[in-house]
Amino acid sequence: MNKIKLFIMSFWIFFLLLIIVTVDIPFSFAKEFKLVQFSSLITISNCIAFGGFIFLLLGGLFYYQFKNKLKGDLDIPVEILKIENINYEYFALLMTIISLISFDFKTIRGLILLTVLLVI
């Protein structure tokens, strides 16, 4: 479960960019404007943006949980059972996130492709 939480936390910038790219709320700065009905805001683009917002909030919640979990005395003796080689390739992750944003989220094909890539 912690790996899933860390995965969601690592993609916070992707979810933020996903919201920016897909949100579709009409703005009008004219003197004569009409309020938009709520039913017209329920589109596939806005649903994707809402899902990105939910995952963004989950990432913040998981960050808060991990931060509270690490609170306390860290100087207690610890037995090392397994050593794992972790490679921090932030640039590769950033390039992956930027390439995922380039999909067209308004078509079913783009959504299926994004889902497959995130699951793999």
Predicted local confidence at residue 10, as pLDDT: 85
Query: How many angstroms separate the CA atoms of 50 and 19, rounded?
Result: 7
Query: How many angstroms separate the CA atoms of 45 and 40, rounded?
Result: 12
Query: How many angstroms separate the CA atoms of 67 and 78, rounded?
Result: 19
Alpha helices by DSSP H, listed for 1-120, are 2-10, 12-22, 38-41, 44-69, 90-101, 108-119
Predicted local confidence at residue 88, as pLDDT: 66
Per-residue pLDDT of the chain (120 residues; tens, 9 = 90+): 888 898 888 888 888 888 888 888 877 777 787 777 778 788 888 888 899 999 999 999 999 988 888 776 556 667 778 877 666 676 677 677 767 777 777 777 777 777 776 676
Find the domain containing 88 and state its range.
2-119
Q: Count of CB atoms within 10 A of residue 111's CB?
A: 15
What is the number of domains present in the chain?
Answer: 1
Query: How many angstroms separate the CA atoms of 91 and 84, rounded?
Result: 21
Considering the entire predicted model, what is its pTM? 0.62
